[in-house]
Amino acid sequence: MRQTKLTKAARGRECQVRIPGVCNGNPETTVLAHYRMSGTCGVGMKPNDLQGAWACSACHDACDGRSQLISRAEARQHHAEGVMRTQAKLMSEGVVAAC
């Protein structure tokens, strides 16, 4: 898989998904976790990197359904909020610009 600037920017960052009781708080495990939503992805196609959140390995597992420590609905809510927090950080750092 090709690494984009936004994918690489997730390395070493604080988890922005922050699921209470799940988040391991380890920035060494942080990756860009894509938020999957109908109309933005499909078989073999990931959403745009702007639809991603910096997520530690534990939060990423919850968001992708690999762990069932919280409900799918809760995981999706935390993931969506993480996407918005990640976008805010990227804007404040001048990596991406709002229109």
Q: Which of 34, 60, 78, 79 is catalytic?
A: 34
Say how far residue 70 (Cα) sits from the centre of its chain: 16
CA nearest to 53, candidates 68, 33, 37: 33
With residue 32 as reference, give the H or E element that holds it: strand 31-34
Q: How far apart are CA 20 and CA 82, in angstroms?
A: 13
34 is catalytic: yes
Residues with catalytic function: 34
